Amino acid sequence: MIDKSHEYFPDQLGNEWVYQGTMVEGGMVQIKNENTRFTNVSKVIGTEILEGVKVTVFNDTNPGNQGPSDSYYFRDVAGIRYYGSKPGTTLERQLVPYQIVRFPLELPSSFEQFHRTGLDFGMDVDRDGEKETVDIVATVSVQGQDTVIVPAGIYQEAIRLEAKMIMNVHLSESGESIQGTDTMTAWFARGVGLLKYIERQTIPSVRSQNERMVEVIEELEKVTLASDVALLSRSEATAKRVFRNHLFHHELLKIPASSGLPADS
């Protein structure tokens, strides 16, 4: 068991993280050498009431190079729950809220976030005029502790988490299914939050046997915390704020546009 697990997910109002990112995409046989570089700034901007629950709001300027978004999280003694985002997707709205972190963190450990079948995929993949349905399962595992080097510095004993999602999309025209996967490995430091993540997506093609691969990496360049002293002195039992992982709101668990899912306007 990792003591004071919540300290790995600071969420005080005004906290800000600046990340430098890289996106590479190509076929499964050979990923293109060209890559896209981007910057994402994540900041705690306030709280809102959703479904009768007071949630913490994070604003990200460009998570995963997908454009700006706001994301909503709730924390209690059991862990952290994700309540969705703006803009979101048709699929995401059928899944939220769901657990993204369980307290206390145990090493090793894992849990299933959700396992749903027959959901509205939200888009017509095979272009036959009907939206597809999808079966989806997602899991999170606590895998270990590592020394992590990022532009912001060197961090000892960072917690390594892995989130994995598998989607089976059922094509209405042929009755066949295609599978997409998304695996994200992320590292968190006590009192700092997310240091780095590496996400790999495989996106199947309906018209050919070739799969498309997308790899996204973000690394912490700078962090500004509202109150380091207050964070480190609090106990999990008395903390009232939502401690969350701003990583999980995009890409894998948010069901991103980069997976081929359109964000609703």
- For the stretch 152-205, pLDDT in tens is 999 999 999 999 999 999 999 999 999 999 999 999 999 999 999 999 998 877
Q: Which helix (DSSP H) or strand (DSSP E) does residue 196 occupy?
A: strand 193-203
Of the candidates 1, 4, 50, 65, the one whose C-alpha atom is nearest the C-alpha of residue 243 is 4
Q: What is the mean pLDDT of residues 88-100?
A: 93
State how many domains the chain has.
Answer: 1
Which pLDDT value is given to residue 80? 94
Residue 151 belongs to some domain of the structure: yes
Q: Which residue range is the domain that position 224 belongs to? A: 5-259
- For the stretch 39-61, pLDDT in tens is 999 999 999 999 999 999 999 99
Specify the pTM. Answer: 0.83
Contacts of 82 (CB under 8 A, 6+ apart): 71, 72, 73, 96, 97, 98, 99, 100, 248, 249, 253, 254
Residue 88 belongs to some domain of the structure: yes
Question: Which residue type sits at 35?
Answer: N
- Report yes or no: 239 and 53 within 8 Å, Cβ to Cβ: no
- Report yes or no: 105 and 69 within 8 Å, Cβ to Cβ: no
CB atoms within 10 A of CB 89: 22
Spatial distance between the Cα atoms of 127 and 105, rounded to a whole number of angstroms: 44
CB atoms within 10 A of CB 164: 17
Confidence band, pLDDT 50/70/90 cuts, at residue 10: very high
Residue 98 belongs to some domain of the structure: yes
Range scoring the smallest mean pLDDT among 21-30, 65-74, 244-253: 244-253
Residue 47 belongs to some domain of the structure: yes
Residue 265 belongs to some domain of the structure: no
Q: What is the dihedral of CA 238, 145, 98, 59, to 10 degrees?
A: 80
Q: What is the mean pLDDT of residues 88-117?
A: 95
Residue 99 belongs to some domain of the structure: yes
Residue 264 belongs to some domain of the structure: no
Spatial distance between the Cα atoms of 218 and 19, rounded to a whole number of angstroms: 6
Confidence band, pLDDT 50/70/90 cuts, at residue 250: very low
Which pLDDT value is given to residue 209? 67
